Structure 1
Amino acid sequence: MSWENDGQSALGRMVSGAVGIVVTAGLAILVIRPELMPWRDAGDSTPLAAETARPSEAPSEEAYADMPTLTEPFKGSPALRWADGPAGIELPQAKAVGWMSKDQVAAAMTKTKEFLVAANLDPAVIKGDKPAKALALLDPQQPGVRAGVEKGLAKPTEEDDPTLLFSRFSPAEVRLVGSVVKTRGRMTVEHGKGENARDVLIYTDYTFVYPLVKTRPGAAEVTRTIVRRQVTFALPDPEKFVVTRGKLSVYEWSSNVGNDDCEHPVDGFFHPQFDEDLLADLAAGGSGGPAVDPYDRSRDLDELPQECGTSSRT
């Protein structure tokens, strides 16, 4: 029989829902320009140690954070101290779990990292290309998942939205500033529950910070989109289920996005907003929603507001 997971793997099913967040609170920093305050500390850039457990609180916020620039796109962001790209996805020490040996678990964690990199850090995917490398890592034996993802990439809808798993931006609108995406999070491996106790579950919780500028000629304002993803991968017991060895099954996933225009029609891309967009939105009578700090990794995603809201910072 083919492996199933009680319906939790259908494309678009979110454990805590996808929260598109429009940045409005950040407009307050336009009142006082940090560059006119020479006595301010530019910020600690010392790299943080790897995250091994859920933080107890959000990173502290500066009253007047530095603005990002084309040469320093992470200025004023907690991500300044985060690892660059794949280096932020550190694998825990492997040990035997369920039906898998220590070496098999190590190999599965490596595959999991490959998927996260291919889905969130591949420059081509960020520019809007098809995440072919990530798709190739998914088990074709898992009912509906690969087909559902392919369907969403071909014709995105609210139910079949590629951004639920992949970080993609429209090249007609924005481009990445530089080549670095900041990354922070953790990975854990556990056995399944009940009658599926021999199954292996790999829990991942990572935040990716993308510095962006509009692609129009002369654009210089830098903004950031912050994407936090909690994705659980499963490696079912091959003695009970039909699986493809060396491939991953997506058990469940959820995401939260800071600075994405959640009122934009679903088209398979994130749509970050800039100060000029926010000013126009306010002039038109636009309003924010519940405030969320996209850098706060101390809470589970299902504890956050499920509706479109306001990011407290980028």
Structure 2
Amino acid sequence: MTTSPPSPDDVPSIPDDVWDRFVQDSEAEIRASAPKEPSARARMVTERLRQQDEEAARRGKRRGRGNPPPARPEGWRTGPAVYGVEERGHRRGRWLGLIGVLAAVGVLLFALNPGWALDSMRGGDGGAAPDSTPLPIETAEPTSAPSKEPFPGTPTLQDPFAGSPAKQYADGAAGIVPPKAWPAGWMTSAQVTSALKNVKAYLVDTNLDPATLRGERPDAALGMLDPSQRETRTRFETAFREPTEKNDPLRLAVRFKPSEVALAGDVVKARGRMAFTKGKDRAVVVHADYTFVYPVVKAGSGSTEVARTIIRRILDVEFPDPSRYRVTPGKFAITRYDDDIANSACSVHDGWLHPQFASDASQGDDADRSGPTVDPYDRSRDLAAERSGPGDCGTVSRT
């Protein structure tokens, strides 16, 4: 909707007394702001001071002194010299502009790379800071592998994640962040929140719990499976009791043989994402895709060589509608579990992970590594498509 300007006849006229007062005030302001000629007394004072300056200069010259004549004072009514004020103002403006530019550059550098900026302020050379800047939470499927260039270094006991993208991953359970919940399927927002917490607890118990990593059975995680899913529960329980290639507990949990290796430190890095949606028959389906990085050393005192095993797990679980199916509230059914294990002997099926150390490379690996070379940190890979290719036991481009 638009409006037209009023016609001249519609514009209200200004009363004469208001107009006269406006003219008088304007004339008074003009007279007050107009420049004034110095008075006769001011001119006399200025002339006398000039004569005194000249007389002092002549006396100083006759006595052979090298001191310059005193500066002539500025007029007592004229104020400071305009040129001096402008010159000082320009210099001050240039300095303020330079300071502003430097401050803006500093803020930009800190925003782009806070780790490097903090390291520089602490007196470091900034060389190792870029690979320690924490990554934001992963909210969508990555489209490519992380670059190799920003991650220099070799893992040590003091820095077991040096040279790895995992240096930017979150520590342990902090890397498993459920999404914000809302009503979906048969669940309310509060019920979805509870379901997501249960899935996180399952991932923590099977991949991060110290007891599980030492080889103990993750009973808490097994207890989250719905009793109606008898075949899956039986397979998992059999796997821990009698591991075989077909029933491998590593499909469910991470286990290192204490007599062979131990964790280098107490931190396992984790990165991934979790999402949920409404499934068939008003069920709630949760999808989890996480990569875990484990730094390890050979068991026994004095071992300093650090190796890393990288495991990516993809897990889909379903919470069926209890009004349609006979299920146990709070329990879930696993509909998909997939994994990719990097840097572990893949021809051994004893239910334990066997990390490969650089010092053992000359001894060779007894596995037939006919599979492709892959980057275990590439979270954009389609594991299901790779499973259909030839050779499950390949090589990794980095650890």
Q: Name the structure 1 match of 2:392.
A: 307
Alignment of 1:28-177 (within 5 A): 41-44=127-130, 45-62=132-149, 65-177=152-264
Contact 2:160-2:264 within 8 A present in 1 as well = yes
Structure 1 pair 175–143 and aligned structure 2 pair: CA distance change class (3 A): same
Q: Structure 1 residue runs of 4+, over 4 Å off? A: 284-288
1:78-133 residue CA offsets vs partner (Å, 9 max, x unmatched): 01011000000011010111111111111000000000000000011111111122
Q: Secondary structure of the residue that 1:213 maps to in structure 2?
A: strand
- Say if 2:346 and 2:367, in contact at 8 Å, map to a contact too: no
- CA distance in structure 1 between the aligned counterparts of 2:150 and 2:171, rounded to whole angstroms: 26
Distance 2:369 2:336 in 1: 32
Change (3 A) 1:240 1:143: farther
Instruction: Tell me the distance in 1 between the aligned counterparts of 2:287 and 2:265.
Output: 30
- Distance apart, 1:263 and its partner CA: 1.6
Tell me, yes or no, if structure 1 residue 281 matches structure 2 residue 364.
Answer: yes
Q: Give yes or no for contact 2:347–2:367 (8 Å, CA) kept in 1.
A: no
Which amino acid is the alignment partner of residue 41 of structure 1?
G
| Contact 1:43 1:76 survives alignment (8 Å) | no
Q: Secondary structure, in 3 states, of the residue corresponding to 2:216? A: coil
TM-score normalised to structure 2 length: 0.65
Question: Aligned in 2, Cα 1:285/1:142: closer, same or farther, shift over 3 Å?
Answer: closer
How much does 1:303 deviate? 2.9
Partner of 1:236: 320
Question: Could you tell me how far 1:40 is from its partner in structure 2?
Answer: 9.1
Match of 2:373 in 1: 291
Q: Distance in 2 between matches of 1:158 and 1:271?
A: 15
Alignment pair present for 1:216 and 2:300: yes
What runs of 5+ residues in structure 1 fail to find an aligned partner?
1-38
Answer yes or no: is 1:267 the counterpart of 2:354.
no
Give the SS at the match of 2:360: helix
Provide the identity percentage. 47
Alignment partner of 1:197: what SS? helix
* CA distance in structure 2 between the partners assigned to 1:207 and 1:84 by the alignment: 12
Per the alignment, in what secondary structure is the counterpart of residue 234 of structure 1? Answer: strand
The one of the two structures with greater contact order (alpha-carbon pairs below 8 A, sep at least 6) is 1
Secondary structure in structure 1 of the residue aligned to 2:312: strand
C-alpha distance in 2 between matches for 1:109 and 1:286: 40
Instruction: Judge conservation of contact 1:199–1:234 (CA < 8 Å) in 2.
Output: yes
Residues 93-102 or 139-148, more deviating = 139-148
Distance 1:253 1:285, change over 3 A: closer
CA displacement at 1:217 relative to structure 2: 2.9
| 2: CA distance, partners of 1:114 / 1:237 | 21
- 1:292 Cα deviation (Å)? 0.7
Alpha-carbon distance, 1:187 to partner:
0.4
Structure of higher CA gyration radius: 2
In structure 2, do the counterparts of structure 1 residues 127 and 285 end up closer, same or farther at CA, with 3 Å as the change threshold? closer
Structure 1 46/238 Cα, relative in aligned 2: closer, same or farther at 3 Å? same
Residue 288 of structure 1: CA displacement? 6.0
User: For residue 291 of structure 1, what is the amino acid of its counterpart?
Assistant: T
Distance 1:64 1:236 in 2: 44
Choose the corresponding residue for 1:185, options 258, 268, 272: 272
Q: Partner of 1:33 in structure 2? A: none
Change (3 A) 1:220 1:159: same
Give the Cα separation in 2 of the matches to 1:170 and 1:134: 20
Separation in 2 of the partners of 1:251 and 1:58? 27
The answer to whether the 8 A contact 1:232-1:251 is kept is yes
- Alpha carbons 1:79, 1:209 under 8 Å: kept: yes
**What displacement does 1:144 show?**
1.2
Provide Cα deviations, 1:196-251, integer angstroms capped at 9, x if missing partner: 33111100000000000010332111000000000001101112221111112111
Structure 2: unaligned runs, 5 residues or longer: 1-124
| Alpha-carbon distance change, 292 to 285 in structure 1, aligned in 2, over 3 angstroms | closer
Q: Residue deviations 1:50-100, cap 9 Å, x none?
A: 000011111001398311001110011001011000000011010111111
More helix by share: 2
Residues 270/285 of structure 1: CA separation in 2 closer, same or farther (3 Å cut): closer
How many angstroms apart in 2 are the aligned matches of 1:203 and 1:292? 24
2:320, 2:340 → 1: CA distance? 27
Q: Which protein has the bigger strand share?
A: 1
Alignment-mate amino acid for residue 149 of structure 2: E
- Native 8 Å contact 2:151 2:165 kept in 1: no
